[in-house]
């Protein structure tokens, strides 16, 4: 059994499977709360795509690389390297850029700064290089992205775009990536037991906050 700290810091006992179930439940709640793309204004749809692109294009490979560096289990490396190999070989950032451009949503400096604090928080967290926490965080993110793709595609379609390579690919490949990350988590936890009091979901909540900022941004949220 692995010790998992809940968000309220009450200690609970949980297996890797229970961690995954908690994350999947969080993801399903987030997906269920997404707005209908057709009920958003064109500016709102464009903003979500642009902020998402600004964050993901230049950060996802960095996040996964940080997780690779943090992992202590020798069996975890090949799993993460396979993910990174696919990202680089198939130029996933380029797919995302084409997706944004065709939806007339290429990020501006305002889009990039909209979630600046939340993005920095995630970067600093992953920079701690804790393998278990990082794998929990990235497992959550890959799982979310896979289920988020239909919504992202609907935003672009409502803006008149037909460029859906990015959303089509990630709606499929991230299923395998998510499974691989939870497999890696099990391996990592077997060689690096969790220290009592550790909040395994700290990074998950930081990423959740970042995602919420991407989806529901208000200009007044940015300090003058």
Predicted pLDDT at 8: 39
Predicted pLDDT at 203: 97
Decide if pLDDT at 1 tops 50.
no
Would you state the CATH architecture of domain 2-6+14-217?
Answer: Up-down Bundle (1.20)
List, for residues 24-35, the tens digit of each pLDDT value: 999 999 999 999
pTM for this predicted structure: 0.89
Domain ranges across the chain: 2-6+14-217
Predicted pLDDT at 15: 75
Banded pLDDT at 219 (limits 50, 70, 90): low
Q: Determine the Cα–Cα distance for residues 25 and 139; give it in Å rounded to an integer.
A: 13
Predicted pLDDT at 196: 86
Decide if pLDDT at 222 tops 50.
no
Decide if pLDDT at 79 tops 70.
yes
CB 45, CB 164: distance < 8 Å: no
């Amino acid at each position: 059994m692995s010790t998992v700290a809940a968000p309220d810091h009450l200690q609970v006992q949980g297996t890797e499977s229970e961690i995954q179930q908690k994350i999947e439940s969080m993801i399903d709640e987030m997906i269920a709360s997404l707005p209908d793309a057709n009920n958003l204004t064109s500016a709102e749809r464009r903003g979500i795509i642009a902020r998402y692109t600004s964050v993901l294009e230049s950060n996802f490979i960095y996040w996964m690389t940080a997780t690779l560096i943090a992992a202590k289990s020798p069996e975890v490396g090949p799993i993460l390297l396979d993910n990174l190999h696919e990202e680089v070989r198939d130029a996933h950032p380029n797919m995302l850029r084409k997706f944004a451009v065709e939806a007339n949503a290429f990020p501006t400096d305002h889009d990039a700064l909209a979630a600046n604090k939340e993005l920095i928080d995630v970067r600093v967290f992953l920079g701690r290089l804790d393998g278990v926490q990082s794998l929990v965080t990235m497992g959550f993110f890959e799982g979310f992205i896979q289920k988020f793709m239909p919504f992202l595609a609907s935003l672009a379609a409502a803006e008149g775009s037909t460029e859906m390579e990015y959303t089509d690919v990630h709606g499929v490949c991230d299923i395998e990536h998510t499974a691989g990350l939870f497999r890696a988590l099990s391996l990592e936890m077997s060689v690096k037991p969790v220290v009592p009091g550790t909040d395994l979901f700290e990074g998950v909540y930081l990423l959740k906050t970042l995602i919420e900022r991407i989806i529901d941004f208000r200009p007044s949220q940015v300090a003058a």
